[in-house]
Amino acid sequence: MIDEIIDLSDVGDVLRRSLDGGRLSVEDGVRLFESNDIHAIGAAANEVRRRINGNRTYYVVNRHINYTDICKNRCAFCAYSRNEADPDAYAMSVDDILARASSYYDEIKFTELHIVGGLHPTLPLEYYTEMLSSIRDKFPGVHIQAFTAVEIAHIAEVGGLSVRNTLQILIDAGLGSMPGGGAEVFSERVRDAICPEKMSGQAWLDVMRQAHELGIKSNATMLYGHVETGLERVEHIIALRDMQDVTGGFMTFIPLKFHPENTKLSHLAAQQSSIDDLKLYAISRLMLDNIAHIKVFWIMLGLKIAQVALSYGADDFDGTVVEEKITHRAGATTPEGLTVADIVRLIQETGTAPIERDTLYNEVTRNEAGLPAIS
Ligand code: V47
Ligand code: SF4
């Protein structure tokens, strides 16, 4: 069946090469983005997903915390950030963060805290180390996934330290792994248009390389659906693949769907297409032959397309999340969090098997009291 679909496709030669274990080139990737045959591209991606991850769809019981919206970068695509003087700007104290985490921990024993924020001009290194060590002391079994590569470089700059030293200090304080944000699209042309103040794509990769060398795993993202071309997407994906060949430190790739509301790029709203979402998920699965997982961040994608994406290459549904500001300030209409029962049902509806994982993709089982054990 899949052979017939591929034989009839205008990109059948590329799909066949990928299924035979070949590595796709820049030209192959661009051809896939130019093709309208999402059925064949999706079928091939689903087959690759099946070979790598079987029928499993992973999810994590986590809570997101966005500790400050004050940010010196003010990227054009970001509705979340504020200037320090804005009346609704906030920066959480470490006690606030602990209280927020505790209230959810009373309800459900999460295995991960996912912490990201803006580039606050003055918060010192000690704020971040105290945040990590206090969380570690209060929730000893919980994995802390925190600070994008952009935040790490900023924390280093404010503290007058190298990125490597900063990473080591944060690891010693309890940092477990890093989220994949801040990558956007590596192309200089795109960065000039959407986030001129942000570190370069090369600098982002360089922070990740150093984190991986220090034994820290991370995720990787691409923010899509604004001004980028198919070629720029492909070059971004291949830069991640090249880095992964060297370090092996990326756990998952997450395409982040751009939400334009309340941003300086709100005129780009007409470019949003679910066909494009699914094609991008499938092409990512086919091109990233050395990254094990592709995640649907359902908050940004929407629950329905997130479910469909699980048949277009994705194998990870992310998590319970609980509280999310970055996408909701940019007009997302998804809930801010989901219960485990919701996630399990949404995954089961796709015909795949829900598997609770920890941050590092170890399987989690729970006892009758709901306490997690990692196998
Ligand atoms: O870097 C900002 C993106 C990222 C918008 O690693 C926007 O598992 C869409 O990286 N529309 C931060 N996206 C969040 C992030 C993330 C989220 C979920 C899981 C993981 C992970 C990482 O959010 C930013 C930027 O790329 N973003 N504004 C917007 N208007
Ligand atoms: Fe700041 Fe991140 Fe928003 Fe850019 S995307 S303005 S770096 S919070």
**Residue 271 pLDDT:** 65
Give a yes or no: residue 312 inside a domain: yes
Shortest-distance ligand to the CA of residue 301: 1
Q: Is the CB of 149 under 6 A from ligand 2?
A: no
Q: What is the pLDDT of residues 59-77, one digit of tens each?
A: 999 999 999 999 999 999 9
- Give the residue, by CA position, lying nearest to ligand 2 atom 8: 118
The residue behind tokens 């699965």 is: 285
Q: List ligand 1's pocket residues with C-beta within 6 A.
A: 77-80, 116, 148, 179-182, 184, 219, 221, 223, 254, 256, 258-259, 263, 297, 300, 326-327, 330
DSSP helix/strand/coil, 113: strand
Give a yes or no: residue 370 inside a domain: no
Q: What is the CATH number of the domain that holds 144?
A: 3.20.20.70
Q: Is the CB of 181 under 6 A from ligand 2?
A: no
Q: How far apart are CA 284 and CA 34, in angstroms?
A: 14
Residue 349: Cβ within 10 Å count: 10
**Residue 9 pLDDT:** 97
Mutate to test the pocket of ligand 2, among 69, 84, 115, 150 (most ligand atoms within 8 A of CB): 150
Give a yes or no: residue 196 inside a domain: yes
pTM of the model: 0.97
Q: In what order do the strands lie in the sheet with 56-60?
A: 316-319, 56-60, 353-356
**Residue 270 pLDDT:** 64
**Residue 335 pLDDT:** 87
**Based on the number of CB atoms within 10 Å of its own CB, is 211 exposed (0-12), middle (13-18) or buried (19 or more)?**
buried
Which segments in the chain show pLDDT lower than 50?
A: none
Q: Which residues contact 125 (CB under 8 A, 6 or more apart)?
A: 155, 158, 159, 161, 166, 169
Give the distance (Å) from ligand 1 centre to CA of residue 273.
18
Which atom of ligand 1 approaches the CA of 219 most closely?
Answer: 6
Split into its structural domains, the chain has a count of 1
Mutate to test the pocket of ligand 2, among 64, 71, 83, 184 (most ligand atoms within 8 A of CB): 71
Give a yes or no: residue 371 inside a domain: no
Give a yes or no: residue 299 inside a domain: yes
Q: How far apart are CA 201 and CA 206, in angstroms?
A: 9
Give a yes or no: residue 256 inside a domain: yes
Indicate the residue type of 21.
G
Region at 361 (left for phi over 0; alpha for psi -120 to 50; beta for the rest) = left
Strands 372-374 and 364-366: antiparallel
Q: How far apart are CA 27 and CA 31, in angstroms?
A: 6
**Residue 32 pLDDT:** 98
Give a yes or no: residue 138 inside a domain: yes
Q: How far apart are CA 149 and CA 295, in angstroms?
A: 19
How far is residue 298 from each of residues 12, 45, 106, 233, 253, measured CA to CA in Å? 30, 19, 25, 21, 14
Which atom of ligand 1 approaches the CA of 295 most closely?
Answer: 8
Q: Which domain holds residue 218?
A: 58-362
Q: Is the CB of 330 under 6 A from ligand 2?
A: no
Give a yes or no: residue 176 inside a domain: yes
